[in-house]
Chains A and B, each alone.
Chain A
Amino acid sequence: MAIELRVPTILRTFTGGEKLVTGAGDTLAAFIDDVEGSHPGIKERIVEGEPAELRRFVNVYVNDEDVRFTGGLQTGVKDGDVVVVLPAVAGG
């Protein structure tokens, strides 16, 4: 078992075209670091700043829960969870 990441098209350049990758970690932050280890470059497209925060137009869900309401990057994750990175669609 592992944690699944559903990769949006814009980030598939970092995953060799794969739409589904896996990783491990106890928190969303640790999971993203783990995925970054196997797919360098992906992290900075999801988080920004120091301390790291989710990018403004990127939404992340763990098992359908918007992590902005569950502790952000400190949201707990475990094997079998599904993480969805959903690019916002917006403009002027």
Chain B
Amino acid sequence: MLIIEQAAYDAIVAHARRDHPDEACGVVIGPEGSDRPERVVPMLNAAMSPTFYEFDQDDWKKLYDEMWDNDEEAVVVYHSHTATEAYPSRTDVAIAQLPTAHYVLVSTRDGADSLTYDGPVEFRSFRIVGGTVTEEEVKVVTAYGETGEN
């Protein structure tokens, strides 16, 4: 199960809407081994594409080094699909290389990118390990601690 704070959830959805029709991508960082996503870091999609995303390599290296020095990790890796459902594509599965991460997908299809869109935005989370996709529950909390979770 992914437990994520409302503010982080909202930031991911806002980023996906902002970059629509291109795919948005980023990470939510937390202490290594904590399984607790705390800090949203939007990444530049170097592919600038409606059908592909790739973290800008220099930015990713810089962030990776920072996380290493601080004993942090990418607890969540998120990206958006802009015309299809929020489910990992074959490409997503083939390239996924972070077995400890929650892979979050958001879909901005069918007008969900619009700020006036008042329906629910698809926001789903998966584990992708060894080519196998496993969906998991998403639990949004106001803040860690208040619920006794984590």
In the assembled complex, the Cα of A58 lies from the Cα of B88 at a distance in Å of: 20
Interface check A22, CB cutoff 8 A: no
Contacts of A66 in B (CB 8 A): 57, 61
Do A84 and B97 have beta carbons less than 8 Å apart?
no
Contacts of B90 in A (CB 8 A): 92
From B6-14, B48-56, B142-150, give the one contacting chain A: B48-56
Binding site for B on A (CB under 8 A): 6, 8-10, 57-59, 61, 64, 66, 84, 86-92
20 A-B contact pairs sorted by A residue (CB < 8 Å): A9-B99, A10-B97, A10-B99, A59-B57, A64-B65, A66-B61, A84-B61, A84-B65, A88-B54, A88-B57, A88-B97, A89-B74, A90-B54, A90-B55, A90-B91, A90-B95, A91-B52, A91-B53, A92-B89, A92-B92
